[in-house]
Amino acid sequence: MNEDALRARRRRNLVIGLSLAAFVVLVFTITLVRLQGNVVERPF
């Protein structure tokens, strides 16, 4: 592979990795918000 192809592969892998990390953060945040809402409504 030439240098341009390797650079494109690295950039593509970086974008995929950042997208995956953003998705994980989004799911984690949504989960926390939903759990906090259920805790407020729970009777003691």
The torsion angles phi and psi of 32, rounded to 5 degrees, stand at -60, -45
Q: What is the pLDDT of residue 24?
A: 98
pLDDT in tens, 2-11: 999 999 999 9
Token pair, residue 29, equals: 């945040």
Cα distances (Å, whole numbers) of residue 15 to 18, 21, 24, 32, 43: 5, 10, 14, 26, 45
Domain positions in the chain are 1-44
Residue type, 3: E
Cα dihedral 37/38/41/44 (nearest 10) = -130
Q: What is the pLDDT of residue 37?
A: 78
pLDDT in tens, 1-44: 899 999 999 999 999 999 999 999 999 999 999 988 777 666 66
Q: What is the pLDDT of residue 2?
A: 95
Count of C-beta atoms within a 10 Å radius of residue 23: 10
